[in-house]
Every structure is written in C-alpha cells, then in structure tokens.
Structure 1
Amino acid sequence: MTVPLALMVLALFAAGLAPRALTRCTWPDREPVLALWVWQCVVGAVLLCCVLAMALSGAAAFTVVRSHVFAGAPHGVAEAYTSGAYTPWSGALCVLLACGGAWTGAMLLREIRDARATRRRRRAELRERAPQLPGEDTSSSERLLVLEDEKPDAWWLPGATPQLVITTGALRRLKGRQLDAVVEHEQGHARARHDWLLNCSAALATGFSRVPVFAGFRDQVHRLVELAADDAASRRYGRLTIALALVELNEGRGIFGPCPAPLAMVPQRVHRLLSPAPRLPVSRRLRMTAMASLVPVIPLLVAVAPGLSALR
C-alpha cells in the first residue's frame, strides 16, 4: 500500500497547491495558450495519480485485478507491489477510486449530452429564423450564417457541421477589418477545439466541486480560451482592431457602464488588448512547456519505482 498512498498524497498535494500557485501568477494573461497547457498537465497528473493508485491498490487486494495489472510481468515485479502489502484499506481505496472514476465518466457523459442537446436546440432555433433556401449548398463544414437581428452578436456553433453565426446588427456595426477579426476570433476557438476543454472542465468541476484543482480549471479555462482566441485574431489583424470590434459588439449590453454585468470579461479583455504586457521570452516559454509536460510523468515514476528496483 506504500505506492498507492504515495500517489494519493501526491494527488492531494497537486490538487490543493497547484491552483493557488497558478491563480496568483500574472503570466497566464500574457501566455494564455501556455497557461491552458499547464492546467491540463496538472489536472492530467491528478487524474493519473488516482488511476494508478486504484490499479495498484486493487492488485494488492484482489487476485483477479492483480492478474490483469501484472499480466506478463516477471514474478519479482508483482511481488514488489503485492508481497506483504495487503491491508484492509487496499480494497476500500480501490473501490472508492473506482466509484470516483465511474462518477467522473457519468459527469462527462452528462456534459456531452447536455452540450449536444443545447446545440440541437440552437440549431433548431436557427433553422426557424433562417430557413434553408431551395438549392442552398450546406456541404461546407464552416458555413457562415447571417441572422437577421438588430442585436450585434457573433458566435461559433460547434458540432459535426460547425457554423459561424453573425447577426445583421453586427454587420452594420463592425467596420473594415473588425468583422474579419471577429471571424478569426471565433475560428480560433474552433481550431483549438475549445469546446472540448470547456466540456471536460465543466464535467470535472460538477462532479467534484470541492476539489480546488477542478473548480479552478473550469473557471480559468473559460477566461483563458477567450484570451487565446483574442491573441489569435490580434496576430493577424492587430490588437486595436479586435479591441474595437469587442467594444462595438458589447457596447449596448451595459458591461462598460458603472454597474457592469456580473463576471463580464470584455472590459478586461479590451484593456489587455490596448495595453498589452510583453510576452515571455521564448526560452522561458520552452522551459515552462517542458516542465509542465513532465508533471504527469511524476506519478508514473512513483508507480514504476518498485518494479524497476525488483528488476535489478
């Protein structure tokens, strides 16, 4: 039970301290894509700790699990993990983690189901407001749909046949290359599959709302994907262009007034675009990427250490 307990301690350490460290840093606003990668690596490491602890504790408690976990492994390797390791807590820990895994899967399936239902409902609403014309070609996977609406808005509707929807109010308000910048922003979401990140983070936070790393992951993903899409648009059309486009789209919603809407991110995004902080040096970005990539490797090293020692 030493290795499973070590893995659980490592998971608790990462789940409790990593969110505090990441939310207190200022560099994620300068490098949102890198910050998303770091968050994914930390969450992946926590989940990997739980999976490995479940497998090893189950192998220590149940013969049938042991035969699958150590199938084809030398006898000495299996003995290193199971000999004298069984305690009454082995089976309980395995069952507890298995239940947690099943609950995570159920939450993810529910999130996917809800997301699909939402997309179907929104597509049905779009078909009612903008019915397909006879002979209209809908084979393109990135079809642009112009919706008659005085309210300026634009959004990307993901799915098997994604659609970029822009209202006529947005077409009237956006000037020059501002429309191109908005389209690039929404396509940035689609290229990076930000909807997958949002669904996964929401599922983990819903299933385990009291785990800081999952709650922080959900909250930060919503913010970072918008910053990343802003940067994708600004690299091609300029920061001023996308900032003005954001103002034009959201000026009438009251978020720039003395009492902005709760959790409104647009003013902060506009300020970030107009007063950009310098990016991190390339060497530092490479070091941070490499360090983040090594985080999920730590649970693997902890898990295989006894087996490697037994092979000596």
Structure 2
Amino acid sequence: MAIALTLLVLAGLTAVGAPRLLNRGSWPLREPVLALWVWQCVVAAVLLCCVLAMALSGSAAWGEVRGQLFAPAPSHVVEAYALPADGQRWAASLALVLACGGLWTAVMLTREVREARALRRRRRVALLARAPRLPGEETEPGDRLVVLESPRSDAWLLPGPSPRLVITTSALRRLTSRQLDAVIAHEQGHVRARHHWLLYCAGALARGFPGVPVFAAFQEQVHRLTELAADDAASRRFGRVTTALALVGLNEDRGPVSCPDDPAAAPHGAEVPQRVSRLLTPAARLAPARRLRWTAAAAVLPVVPLLVAFAPGLSALGGVR
C-alpha cells in the first residue's frame, strides 16, 4: 500500500506546486497554446494519481478487485505489491473516498455540460426572438452568421453542433471588412480548438473541488489562455494591428467590459486592455528548442504516476528474467 500513498503524496505536491511554478514566469502569455498543453498535462497527472491510488487501495481491501486488476499478471508480480491477504479497513476507506471523488467529478462534469447546453438553448431562443427568420428561412439547415440589430458593437459565438457567430449592426458599421474577418477568425479559432470543452472540464473540477489549488488555477488560466490563443490565430491571418483594432472597436463604447449580450464573456472583458497591449507590443516567442523541452516535459508528467504504480511489477518481472 506504500505505492498508493506515494501516488497521493505525488498528487498533492503536483496540485500545490504546479500552479506556483507555472504562474511564476511570463512565458504562458507568449505561448498560450503550449501553456494550455502544460496545464492539461498537469491536471491529467493529478487525476491519474488518484485513479491509480484508488485501484491499488481497492486491491488491498477486496480480493475481488485484486483478482480483476491482477488477473493477467504472474503471481510474483502480485507478491511484489505486498497486498494483505485479508484486506484492511483503512484501504477500503481510502478506495471509497477516491471512488466518491471520481463519481463526484463525473457528476459535476455532467452538470456543467447540461447547464451550458441549457444556457445555450435559452440564448438561441432569445436570439431568435430578437432576430426572427423571414418566411422561407425555416427550411435552412442552420445559420452560421446572425446579424443582430443593436446600437452597441458586439460579436460573440454560440458554440454547439452548429456554431453561430453573432455580430451586431453597430459592429458591422464600425469595423472594417478586414477587422470583421479578424473577429470571425478569432471565433473560428475557438471552434477549431474546441475550447468550450476545456472550459467545461475546468469549470467542473473547480466547482467540484474548490479547495484544490490546481483546479482553481486551471479554470482561471483556461479562460485567459483560450482568448490569447484565439487572438494569435486571428493575428496570424490578418495581422496583430488589425486584430487589436477589432478588439478596441468592439469595446471602446463601454470601457473594459466586453460582450454584454454574451453573459459567458462578460467576466473576462476586463482582460481586453491586456490583450490589446499584447497584440501591439508582442514579446518574442520562445525558441523552438525551449518549446520542445516544455512540450516533452509536460508529456512526461502523466507518465510519472504510471511508472510509480508499475515499478514493483516491472521490477519483479525483471528479477525473474
């Protein structure tokens, strides 16, 4: 059972130390896509530690679980884990606690997705009420772009099976054609990268386990980094100045708050000045070798719990040979 406890200690150290390490430098602002990859690997490592600890503690507590988990393994591999023959109460308690945590995570993720879908349906109904279809449009398979009559400049995305980009008439009048293309490219960047699923997972973990630092930091950083990544996707096609002017044009009437018609975007509108400054005064990207090192180091993180969990069995197999 020492392996299960080692995995839990590893999960705790990662959950506390990783956010401090990642927030220490400024490189995530320069490489938002890479930073998203690193954050996902960190969270995956923490969750994998808990899953493996649950499996090993369950094997120590119940012979039925042990038989299923170690069914294809030779007897000397099972002996290497020093699992008790009669089980232990504390192992059973630990396995049940971790199993409840996994179930709670699934419940929170389901709740997050259902709430997001319900909100999306309400917004689609409200959008249809404000911009009703003309006769004959009911047979159309779906609207990719919806123009909404409004005195305020706005543009936002309704994700889903058929994503819709909503642009107000004021935005059409204020922005140039190239700036509108940059706005569309920004939203298309969200769709292609499926950022809404990252937001669902981050929200479920943060709401389900509010006391875990890594999950709270993951939610905050996902909201921030997905916007920066979409800004970069737009700027690569239409230029940083054009993308920055599009952001200013959509927000200059109301200061730092963006997209009032889009409730999901409102809490993050205060980051618009920072995003504009980042586009106009871009910092140098990381060197390719350094990006490769960060990518490889992040990919190794979920492998570490696997190595810890399989170390006794691999050692036993190596000893027999």
TM-score (norm 2): 0.92
Aligned residues of 2:59 and 2:83 also touching (Cα < 8 A):
no
Aligned length: 307
1:35 aligned residue: 35
> Which aligned pairs between 1:104-183 and structure 2 lie closer than 5 A?
104-136=105-137, 138-139=140-141, 143-183=144-184
CA-based RMSD of the aligned residues comes to: 1.6
**SS of alignment partner, residue 68 of structure 2:** helix
**SS of alignment partner, residue 166 of structure 1:** strand
Q: In the alignment, does 2:8 pair up with 1:13?
A: no
How many Å separate the matches in 1 of 2:267 and 2:38? 27
Regions of 4+ moved over 6 Å: none
> Which aligned pairs between 1:37-52 and structure 2 lie closer than 5 A?
37-52=37-52
1:284 aligned residue: 290
How many Å separate the matches in 2 of 1:58 and 1:262? 42
How many Å separate the matches in 1 of 2:289 and 2:166? 39
2:25 aligned residue: 25
2:213 aligned residue: 212
2:70 aligned residue: 70
How many Å separate the matches in 2 of 1:303 and 1:98? 18
Letter of the structure 2 residue corresponding to residue 149 of structure 1: S
Letter of the structure 2 residue corresponding to residue 104 of structure 1: T
Letter of the structure 1 residue corresponding to residue 217 of structure 2: G
- Cα–Cα, structure 1 residues 262 and 51, in superposed 2: closer, same or farther, change >3 Å? closer
Q: CA deviation at 1:262?
A: 7.5
Letter of the structure 1 residue corresponding to residue 248 of structure 2: V
Q: Which runs of 5+ in 1 are unaligned?
A: none
How many Å separate the matches in 2 of 1:173 and 1:300? 55
2:261 aligned residue: none
Q: In the alignment, does 2:260 pair up with 1:254?
A: no
**SS of alignment partner, residue 97 of structure 2:** helix
> Which aligned pairs between 1:229-244 and structure 2 lie closer than 5 A?
229-244=230-245
TM-score (norm 1): 0.95
How many Å separate the matches in 1 of 2:267 and 2:204? 23
| Equivalent of 1:294 in 279, 297, 300 | 300
Q: Which runs of 5+ in 2 are unaligned?
A: 258-265
- Cα–Cα, structure 1 residues 262 and 53, in superposed 2: closer, same or farther, change >3 Å? closer
Q: Name whichever of 127-136 and 55-64 sits farther off.
A: 127-136
Q: Name whichever of 59-68 and 74-83 sits farther off.
A: 74-83
**SS of alignment partner, residue 252 of structure 2:** helix
**SS of alignment partner, residue 253 of structure 1:** coil
